[in-house]
């Protein structure tokens, strides 16, 4: 494929106001905004099930998740190294990627993230990011700029295997939990699992910080390397780790209530023993993957765990129509973000005007999505009331007597 070269030096020479340093700063700001959207988009990964079972109040759950995402971001940089020096080739011996291409790729990721958030669809922020970057890199620097071997081994294969493995672990753990407590007596025989969920959901939030915050660290590091501000092959600087940790924590605190609604009640009826099993499975899978440097989708792992826990409880049913919609979102995420990133890179290739057009159109789309979301706002109160109406949680204001009895019997 013939690449459309995006040369930041040419942009600088045509317009002294827009120089390489300014472009790098803009890319870093955009990357941090992506990190922020990742936080509120993926809050549900850790906190949907404890909220759905009543183990934690919604705002308390989100606050815990925010703090632990902040802490988790400081614990590892293996995934950041995969992003900054693995998926996109850069430096000596590789095809040079520019900050303008990274900007275009981030636009693809953010637009898809916000579209799926608006629809309440728990898609993969990670795959949106990789899709946007790959699309922009292929258009801007050619197929040789992408290491498809790393994409296959570190992104695609984990995406296929991790949800299945997490689901199998959750299924087995749920079976064991119900088998062990089967002979217990009393209405609150499994109530202790709610307290266990506080621990396991906190562990998932910590794991999310160790995996997802690193992707933005990798993007910023890649931008600094591409701009000549950092040596090729080096890891993220401390200030990069710190600002990424703060951004994802703030986004998490905002709370992705639309996706919490889908994850907490849309996939299956979630009881405390199931929630405990799903959270434990999710945390174990994500932490192991982070240690190995796999750029995993925490959303896919969490969804697989919830489905596995639903299959593991006798009498429970999985809403396969919702599962189908989520699976479709997974399949569309990488190519859709790649298309947006490719178009943005093509526009940016025209120089300063194209770069400005990308920025203006991107801001307009983001503003429109947030404006559209306010027409049917979902917050801590009405998200959990919808879960409660299905009889799965009891902390909403409109909780029915039957729902309260169901909670006690869980």
For residues 384 and 281, which has the higher predicted lDDT (pLDDT)? 281
Contact 35, 193 (CB under 8 A): no
Give the chain's largest Cα–Cα span: 78
Which pLDDT band, with edges at 50, 70 and 90, does 91 fall under? low
For residue 39, CA distances in Å to 125, 161, 182 come to 9, 24, 38
pLDDT in tens, 17-75: 357 788 889 899 999 998 998 887 776 667 776 777 677 777 788 888 889 889 988 88
Q: How far is CA 112 from CA 1, 82, 105, 258, in A?
A: 25, 22, 11, 15
Report the range of poorest mean pLDDT among 77-81, 230-234, 304-308, 362-366.
77-81
Q: What is the DSSP letter of 66?
A: H
What is the per-residue pLDDT for 338?
A: 92
pLDDT at 403 over 50: no
Per-residue HEC secondary structure of 178-201 comes to HHHCCCCCCCCCCCHHHHHHHHHH
How high is the mean pLDDT of the chain?
76
Confidence bin at 339 (pLDDT 50/70/90):
very high
Nearest partner of 124 among 342, 329, 277, judged by Cα? 329
Angle at 320 between CA 109 and CA 112, to 5 degrees: 10
Place of tokens 């204001």: 397
């Amino acid at each position: 494929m013939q690449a459309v070269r995006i040369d930041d030096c040419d942009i600088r020479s045509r317009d002294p106001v827009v120089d390489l340093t300014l472009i790098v700063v803009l890319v870093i700001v955009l990357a941090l905004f992506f990190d922020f959207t990742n936080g509120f988009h993926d809050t549900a990964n850790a906190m949907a099930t404890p909220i759905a079972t009543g183990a934690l109040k919604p705002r308390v759950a989100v606050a815990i998740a925010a703090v632990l995402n902040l802490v988790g971001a400081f614990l590892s940089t293996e995934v950041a190294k995969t992003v900054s020096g693995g998926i996109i080739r850069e430096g000596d011996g590789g095809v040079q990627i520019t900050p303008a291409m990274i900007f275009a790729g981030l636009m693809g990721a953010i637009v898809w993230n916000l579209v799926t958030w608006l629809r309440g669809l728990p898609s993969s922020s990670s795959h949106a990011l990789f899709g946007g970057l790959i699309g922009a890199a292929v258009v801007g620097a050619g197929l040789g700029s992408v290491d498809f071997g790393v994409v296959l081994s570190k992104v695609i294969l984990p995406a296929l295997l991790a949800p299945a493995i997490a689901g199998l672990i959750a299924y087995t753990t749920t079976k064991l939990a119900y088998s062990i407590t089967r002979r217990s007596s009393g209405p609150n025989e499994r109530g202790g699992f709610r307290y266990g969920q506080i621990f396991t959901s906190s562990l998932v939030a910590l794991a999310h910080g160790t995996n997802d915050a690193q992707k933005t660290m990798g993007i910023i590091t890649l931008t600094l390397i591409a701009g000549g501000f950092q040596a090729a092959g080096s890891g993220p600087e401390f200030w990069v780790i710190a600002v990424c940790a703060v951004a994802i924590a703030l986004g998490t605190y905002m709370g992705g209530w639309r996706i919490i609604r889908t994850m907490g009640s849309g996939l299956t009826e979630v009881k405390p023993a199931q929630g405990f099993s799903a959270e434990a499975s999710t945390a174990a899978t994500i932490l192991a993957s982070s240690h190995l440097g796999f750029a995993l989708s925490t959303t896919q792992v969490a969804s697989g765990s919830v489905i596995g826990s639903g299959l593991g409880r006798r009498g429970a049913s999985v809403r396969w129509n919702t599962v189908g919609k989520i699976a479709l979102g997974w399949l569309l995420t990488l190519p859709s973000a790649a298309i947006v990133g490719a178009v943005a890179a093509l526009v940016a290739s025209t120089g300063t005007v194209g770069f400005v057009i990308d920025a203006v159109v991107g801001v307009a789309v983001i503003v429109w999505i947030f404006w559209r979301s306010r027409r049917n706002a979902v917050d801590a109160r009405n998200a959990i009331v919808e879960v409660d109406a299905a009889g799965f949680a009891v902390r909403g204001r409109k909780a029915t007597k039957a729902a309260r009895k169901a909670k006690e019997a869980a």
